Amino acid sequence: MSESVRLIEVKENVLDDNEKVASALRARLKEEKTFLVNLMASPGAGKTSTVIATCNRLKEHLKVGVLEADIDSMVDAEKVAKEGIEAVQMRTGGFCHLDATMVDEGLSAIGAEGFDLIVLENVGNLVCPAEFDTGASINAMILSVPEGDDKPLKYPLMFSVCDVVLINKVDALSFFDFDRARFEEGLRRVNPHCQVFEISCQTGEGVDAWSQWLKEKVAEHNR
């Protein structure tokens, strides 16, 4: 186990009313002036790369931390920690999502009150994480170009709960049959109001715009 990354075991407490816990957590984070982003995506969409690229652009302006969730791994938290970003690995022990109680455990471990921004990288899939309110300030998701433009219609709940969608790997658009207009049409059918950014963690395209938008949201929340 890496000495630079702490590991905590999180378990789902089925007795908790998740909605009440999430609402209380969100209110507490507002008082503490800590902005929590719940970042969701399928495996391989580029969650960790996006987390690192975003935090590297913001860490000179904000105190940033990362909560990494995985079923049984410390790989992602170790990647983040190598960038000089404080990270805690949350191991779910088989659960395919995080709920508000689990997130509260992670926030306690990292000491959330000392951060302006915490990015929560949820467990990788497009189904279960969308069903549980984590207490986050906003929900964000990543769709990578290789996954296809039809995902809003295949996974409508995921896209409907998001405040912002990042289309990642746009540097690969010429290699895949990804129709931007078709994606936009499907997205707006399930979520007319969410913000969309096209990014590439490989080339850096769009990451500055996304990071600036997030920085402004943190400032609004933490005033």
DSSP letters for 82-96: HTT-EEEEEE-TT-S
Q: Among 3.40.50.80, 3.40.50.300, 3.40.50.720, 3.40.50.970, name the CATH number for the domain at 6-222.
A: 3.40.50.300
> What confidence score (pLDDT) does residue 9 get?
67
Whether the per-residue pLDDT at 117 is higher than 80: the answer is yes
Phi-psi sector, 95: left (phi>0), alpha (psi -120 to 50), beta: beta
The SS3 call for residue 5 is coil
> What confidence score (pLDDT) does residue 41 get?
97
- Identify the weakest region by mean pLDDT among 15-19, 74-78, 126-130, 202-206: 15-19
Whether the per-residue pLDDT at 26 is higher than 80: the answer is yes
- How far is 135 from 19, CA to CA, in rounded Å? 8
- How far is 85 from 90, CA to CA, in rounded Å? 16
- CA angle, residues 139, 190, 160, in degrees to nearest 5: 20
CB distance 68 to 80 below 8 Å: yes
- Identify the weakest region by mean pLDDT among 55-59, 73-77, 133-137: 73-77
- Strands of the sheet containing 164-168, edge to edge, are 6-9, 86-91, 64-70, 117-121, 35-41, 138-144, 164-168, 195-198
DSSP state of 14: T
Whether the per-residue pLDDT at 96 is higher than 90: the answer is no
DSSP state of 172: G
Instruction: Quote the pTM value.
Output: 0.91
Determine how β-strand 64-70 pairs with β-strand 117-121: parallel
Q: Where are the domains of the chain?
A: 6-222
